[in-house]
């Protein structure tokens, strides 16, 4: 009986390790989500702009940087990861163009506009009001 329970423990541990290895890291998930839900639609929107537009030309390349490997918590206890989007024009240096955060449970994206954070759809031309309290780390609880 002891032999079968120890082999069960070994098999169970192996299964957990394999499942953890198969699941994408939080950082990889965030990058993929930002790429699919913000950068690709943004590039598509910029492609449809006229060549003769007076707007600044779109960057030749963009990249996503996730700025933390662990979740931060806002005042409501929701977990989020901060990110930055860098852009490059031609052979110029990379420059940070947007910062924001992504919430882990919902996948919602927010971007900083001045001192406020708005839903990322704002960059795609959609009307989006600032959302108070998002992307802001909650102050530590006081000890008594």
* Per-residue tens of pLDDT for the chain, all 144 residues: 555 444 444 444 444 444 445 557 999 999 999 999 999 999 999 888 888 888 888 899 999 999 999 999 999 999 999 999 999 998 999 999 999 999 999 999 999 999 999 999 999 999 999 999 999 998 887 766
pLDDT in tens, 62-102: 999 999 999 999 999 999 999 999 999 989 999 999 999 99
The closest alpha carbon to 101, from 88, 113, 92, 89, belongs to 113
Q: Measured between alpha carbons, how far is 64 from 10 in angstroms, rounded to an integer? A: 39
Q: Which two tokens stand for residue 120?
A: 């990322």
The Cα angle at residue 136 between residues 103 and 87, in degrees rounded to 5: 70
Count the neighbouring beta carbons within 10 Å of the beta carbon of residue 134.
20
What is the H or E stretch that residue 42 is in? helix 40-47
Structure pTM?
Answer: 0.78
Quick one: what percent of the chain has pLDDT higher than 90? 68
Per the listing, tokens 């198969």 go with: 22
Q: Measured between alpha carbons, how far is 38 from 112 in angstroms, rounded to an integer? A: 14
């Amino acid at each position: 009986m002891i032999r079968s329970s120890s082999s069960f423990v070994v098999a169970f541990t192996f299964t957990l390790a394999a499942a953890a290895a198969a699941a994408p890291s939080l950082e990889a998930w965030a990058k993929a989500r930002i790429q699919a839900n913000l950068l690709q639609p943004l590039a598509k929107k910029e492609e449809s702009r006229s060549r003769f537009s007076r707007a600044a030309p779109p960057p030749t390349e963009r990249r996503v940087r996730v700025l933390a490997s662990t979740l931060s918590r806002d005042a409501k206890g929701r977990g989020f990861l901060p990110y930055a989007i860098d852009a490059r024009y031609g052979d110029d240096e990379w420059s940070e163009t947007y910062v924001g955060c992504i919430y882990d449970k919902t996948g919602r994206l927010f971007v900083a506009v001045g001192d406020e954070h708005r839903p990322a759809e704002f960059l795609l031309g959609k009307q989006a009001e600032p959302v108070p309290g998002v992307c802001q780390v909650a102050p530590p609880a006081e000890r008594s």
